[in-house]
A and B are shown apart, each in its own frame.
Chain A
């Protein structure tokens, strides 16, 4: 074996030496300007470089690119370096770079993440030259904007109003085959569920069509808060910090969800939930008749499933009480790093993307999202560009921001969505679920406010 080892050593080392030398040379070449990103190296003192970060969602990326190009045309002295990251790891990226203070000048953040960062002092307050909180409150809906407000200060500007309330996906073929009116005109959830029952299909004990799929990480939270509010209760405790999930209204809402899955059997929560056959996918695979999800799914569905043949729409959905009243999850928007060297330019650019009505609208049209600016949402010509927004636009004034949950992901997903799903799957009774959610949510809030 010594002969072959010798040969291999030579080839290996030769290969290694060559590649290492070449590789290092090549690696050095494109990295000669690492400081360029943070800007400020222009001899004329004019040229400014801003970095923008966002997560990697094709339509969001496209919308941002359009507006960047437009901004560069209007501001030739500004260079925008746009970088994006896979969604699942985006926060890891932001946080790692925050530790080194090397995060981008402008970041596209989800509104309900903003408060915890603002509280920690890792975001910049909106520059007075761009807008004040009072002025922003006139321009934007409260539901998206309030996610960006912490202790009376504004920390960012929303691009959209994120909601799953107001509309649902509906598969016209399934309605027609079941002989149901289309587009549906549901006066109550009961009517929706009655329709859903007629479209649900089970073959050999396997649900092949879920009549009404509402079991998703986002959707369960939205329905839960909406149910509590419309039934006339409140999920925050009297101190405004803790949660009170033991009200009869909260229990009623979960009971209602439980009944749909277990009495009406319009969805099998084992095979349709946030982890598998997620409604944003399964609807476009013909597995769901009515899907509870926001209007932003429409362009995604069209792009991801170009060959889906069934006709479908995003149609109006019913509500619980006499009037619409719901909590929304803020929305994607732009925030600025306090470590930026060009804070004025960064805010100017952020405001260009979010506060200018024409740009705001262009962004919403490209991403299929709901405007956060009142003037854009109220403009009737908006429907010419995004004709599926109708149901969502109607409900916008009735929404409020979900509130400071201390750790939104923990409360919304780990507590509410997870435990309601478990309840629907018959792991725990409704009463036990309410108590568990109440205890876990408040334990988390305690641990966060302790410091």
Chain B
């Protein structure tokens, strides 16, 4: 598609940009820096607040006026969570890791393969199928939740991690994204491979996939975020505490009968931390991937 042609050409030109950015600090630039730093405060303050609160004692939380940085650092909320006999925290982490990595792996495979076929082949009903795939992205999840659950019951995989993993193996969005990206890969490459005697799957595996690092990384990260943070659906599918995933912790100490704010914030930190670490690890890829696919 056009946007991809454009963005991929612009990426090639990107290094040339760097020459321009070196400059003395003019008055205008000082203002720019001030604006950017104010924006950073807006961005980071809630995180700092969450982190600070998780290290406060429960008395300090309700003190007026409140403190941003804890006067007395305490690990008591984390200790409470780690030693809470009703919270199998390690199990939650493990379950989240199993579910998230399985889904990400499967989505990357199915999306790139189907995206390849939709981009580079013609077959009966192609446009109809593709339109249907697009349409499924637009239906609010709250409505298909019940029938989806009925399907899982028929398959006998409710209350198991499989029940979370199996429906997540394909992603309409992933297929859409991959097709967009693969369309920009020149068909000559494919024809050349065919003349060399490559099988169709061989073309996918050896010609297409190597071109797709950034796009796969982007889809992978976003799928990771979506699955890792998913709250409502696991709650419906999983009923046994030991089979739950990590986001259940977010509301664990936040019941209808009042909440433990110190514990809720500590739990939030525990839920967010892995994804933040992974983000810092992969953030270069995400940015490039977004630029390539125009995705959000």
Contact = CB atoms under 8 A, between A and B. Distances in A.
Q: Do A and B bind each other?
A: yes
Interface stretch (B37-45, B47-55, B130-138, B207-215): B207-215
A83 B241 contact: yes
A356 to B, nearest CB: 25
Given A16-B104, A26-B98, A27-B102, A301 B258 contact: yes
Contacts of B146: 95-96, 99
Contact of A96 (B57, B58, B236): B236
Interface string B217-260: 10010000000000010011001111100001001101111111
B216 A12 contact: yes
A99 B64 CA distance: 48
B165 A24 contact: yes
Contact of B214 (A5, A7, A37): A5
Nearest to A99: B146
A56 B255 contact: yes
A104 B239 CA distance: 10
Nearest to A279: B258
A34 B256 CA distance: 30
A24 B256 CA distance: 36
Contacts of B236: 92-93, 96
Contact of B235 (A20, A22, A31, A93): A93
Nearest to B58: A307
Given A5-B214, A24-B165, A286-B62, A281 B259 contact: yes
Contacts of B235: 85-86, 89, 92-93
A207 B162 CA distance: 52
B173 interface: no
The A contact surface, by secondary structure, is: helix
B258 A297 contact: yes
Interface residues of A, number: 66
Contacts of B11: 1
Contact of B159 (A28, A37, A88, A308): A37
A5 B212 contact: yes
A69 interface: no
Interface in A17-64: 17, 19-20, 22-24, 26-28, 30-31, 34, 37, 51, 53, 55-59, 61
A53 B97 CA distance: 27
Contacts of A87: 255-256
Contacts of B211: 2, 5
B257 A86 contact: no
Given A5-B213, A100-B149, A83 B240 contact: yes
A304 interface: yes
B158 A19 contact: no
Interface string B143-167: 0011001100100111111100100
Nearest to A16: B105
Given A30-B242, A30-B243, A96-B149, A9 B101 contact: no
A7 B217 CA distance: 12
A58 B258 CA distance: 11
Contacts of A89: 232, 235
Task: Select the residue from A7, A17, A100 with max chain B CB neighbours within 10 A.
Answer: A100
A425 interface: no
Given A9-B209, A16-B108, A16-B109, A30 B160 contact: yes
A99 B98 CA distance: 28
B157 A31 contact: yes
A431 B216 CA distance: 62
Interface string A1-15: 110111111001101
Contacts of B109: 16
A120 interface: no
Contacts of A137: none
Contacts of A57: 255-257
A154 B22 CA distance: 80
Given A23-B99, A86-B235, A305-B58, A17 B242 contact: no
Contact of B256 (A6, A83, A88): A88
B233 to A, nearest CB: 10
Interface string B75-115: 00000000000100000001001110110111011000000
12 contacts: A12-B108, A20-B101, A30-B242, A31-B162, A55-B255, A56-B252, A57-B256, A59-B257, A86-B252, A92-B235, A92-B236, A208-B64
8 nearest A-B pairs in the assembled complex, by CB-CB distance: A5-B213, A31-B160, A16-B105, A23-B102, A19-B101, A87-B256, A27-B161, A20-B105
Interface of B: 11, 57-59, 62, 64, 86, 94, 97-99, 101-102, 104-106, 108-109, 145-146, 149-150, 153, 156-162, 165, 209-214, 216-217, 220, 232, 235-236, 239-243, 248, 251-252, 254-260, 285
Interface of A: 1-2, 4-9, 12-13, 15-17, 19-20, 22-24, 26-28, 30-31, 34, 37, 51, 53, 55-59, 61, 81, 83-89, 92-93, 95-97, 99-100, 102, 104, 208, 278, 280-281, 284-286, 296-297, 300-301, 304-308
